[in-house]
Amino acid sequence: TAEVRGEATRDLQAVGFSSAVRAGNFGVLSGTFAGSRSEAGVGRLLGLGVEHLSGSISVALQTQVTSPDFRQTGMEPNELPRRRQTFGTIGYAMGPLGSLSATYGIQQFRDQAQAEIATLTYSVPLGKVGNLSLTALRSYGAAGATTVFATVTIPLGELTSGTVTFDRTRDSATGATSENRTLVLQKGLPLGDGYGYRVQRRNEDLLGSYSLQTGVGTYVLEASRPKEGPGAARVGITGGIGVVGGHAFFSRALTDSFGVVRVADYSNVRVLQDNQVVAQTDGQGYAVLPRLRAYDRNQVSIDHNDLPFDATLDRLRLDAVPYLRSGVLLEFPVHRVRAGTLHVLLEDGTPLPSGALARFEGKDKQFPVALRGEAYLEG
């Protein structure tokens, strides 16, 4: 794959190119090159990466270097680019015995001391109860410290889980230690309409939030009560307004590609994305899908059990492939028909033979006859 990106302001112009290539069975090689022009001069950025997966072992390494004059959008006027940053990780999967991974990262600055960090993590399933994760983290330098984490996660449902965490930190310079105990109970938001919550107790501090997600927005209520000082609360509301195919609508926040589904004028029809219910048609037969993958095939279908008997449907599934941050209209071929089941008898009173074909006079569509002369006709 390859990607080209450019950005420009009055004081800064930058362009970059990145590519990833599969190197046979070895893995993936990637590279990035970018150039900028600003008041600081002409600058350059170069990045290289490699990923390798072999059986139970995975390895990844990425490094990036810049020239002193390189600039990009978002940097402060007097901010200098990092001289070099390198990150590496190695993982080993041990089946039912869990997995082990180690990471190392270093960032070298031009105007301050370098930052260096290393981690070691072991994770193992606890049967059907949950999962145990043990992590040791070491940061180096003047503000270096060593921290160990122990976390137990217990699933309580499809979107609900409980987490217990203990961490202990020791400052390398002073030898001072601190401990924290955290309890979390949370339920994530579903893809479609629904609610979620999070309750956290960290030492003596309490934090809670409740989220309600509907077809026209997401509403969040948060509150906190620290051990010392006053508590706080806030309310947040996010939503979106769009127009696709001449249809204007309210929806949840539209931050990426999205789609609008139309199922004639049938209401309360469930809409599925990748086989998961994400929306329901309104009184005009429309439903909004606020999250589609750009430049990828999104499988969208409807539940035929929600359609009445007078509806005929040519296709239950459509594919949506939208552009980046754009909308697409998906119109399912649904039609209202008059239909009925007939029992056809010949002049001698015997039923019309099964396998015969019936049709309306002047129309081409044919309907097969079943046993006992029964036929289902629509039109």
**Between vectors from CA 143 to CA 138 and to CA 145, what angle results, nearest 5°?**
30
| Backbone dihedral angles phi then psi of residue 346, each to the nearest 5 degrees | -80, 175
| Coil, helix or strand at residue 371 | helix
| Statement: 241-309+316-329 belongs to CATH 2.60.40.2610 | yes
Residue spans per domain, the chain:
1-81, 241-309+316-329, 339-378
> Is a pLDDT exceeding 80 seen at residue 339?
no
Cα separation, 240 vs 46, whole angstroms? 38
Contact 153, 130 (CB under 8 A): yes
Contact 281, 303 (CB under 8 A): no
Tens of pLDDT, residue by residue over 71-124, are: 888 888 788 899 999 999 999 999 889 999 999 999 999 888 899 999 999 999
pLDDT of residue 367: 78
Tens of pLDDT, residue by residue over 152-169, are: 999 998 899 999 999 999
Cα separation, 329 vs 260, whole angstroms? 5
Entry pTM: 0.69
Tens of pLDDT, residue by residue over 294-335, are: 888 999 999 989 988 778 787 889 999 998 888 999 999 888
Beta pairing class for 327-331 and 257-262: parallel
Q: Of 48, 45, 87, 80, which Cα lies nearest the Cα of 66?
A: 45
| Coil, helix or strand at residue 373 | helix
pLDDT of residue 374: 84
Residue showing tokens 């997995």: 99
Tens of pLDDT, residue by residue over 234-293, are: 999 999 999 888 889 999 998 889 999 999 889 999 999 988 999 999 989 999 999 998
Average pLDDT, integer, range 143-151: 93
The residues with which 179 forms a beta bridge, in sequence order, are 168
Q: How many CB atoms lie within 10 A of CB 377?
A: 17
Cα separation, 239 vs 261, whole angstroms? 18
pLDDT of residue 54: 84
Q: How far is CA 370 from CA 5, 11, 87, 340, 359, in A?
A: 62, 77, 69, 14, 14
List all residues 6 or more positions away from 261 whose beta carbon is below 8 Å from its beta carbon. 271, 279, 281, 286, 287, 288, 289, 300, 302, 330, 331, 332
